[in-house]
Amino acid sequence: MTLTLIVVGTFFGVVAAVIARQKGRSELRWFLVGFFFHIIGLIVLFLPSVPKAGTTKKCPACAEIIKAEAKVCKFCGREITTVEGSREESAG
């Protein structure tokens, strides 16, 4: 029984680590999540990642989240203008 749990845990850990590597996430952390939480760890791994503060902002026209460096909104196509000395609010 214990050997079975170790084998299953290792399988899910390796699968989670491979997927994490493809998504640019920590392999060791996701191996441990997969090892201890099995299928739940894989489900959580497939959830979209939360954008980091300061790397995104809201488009003033359509309110979709876009990259902070964007010059044109990829959703509505509106040109994003910023005033020198002031920054758009970060989404988060």
User: Tens digit of pLDDT per residue, the chain (92 long)?
Assistant: 889 989 998 998 898 888 888 877 888 988 898 888 888 877 877 777 766 667 888 899 999 988 888 899 999 999 988 754 344 454 44
What is this structure's pTM? 0.51
Cβ(30)–Cβ(19) under 8 Å? yes
- CA–CA gap between residue 56 and residue 75 (Å, rounded): 14
- pLDDT score of 86: 43
Residue pLDDT, tens place only, 22-44 = 877 888 988 898 888 888 877 87
In 1-92, alpha helices (H): 2-23, 27-37, 39-45
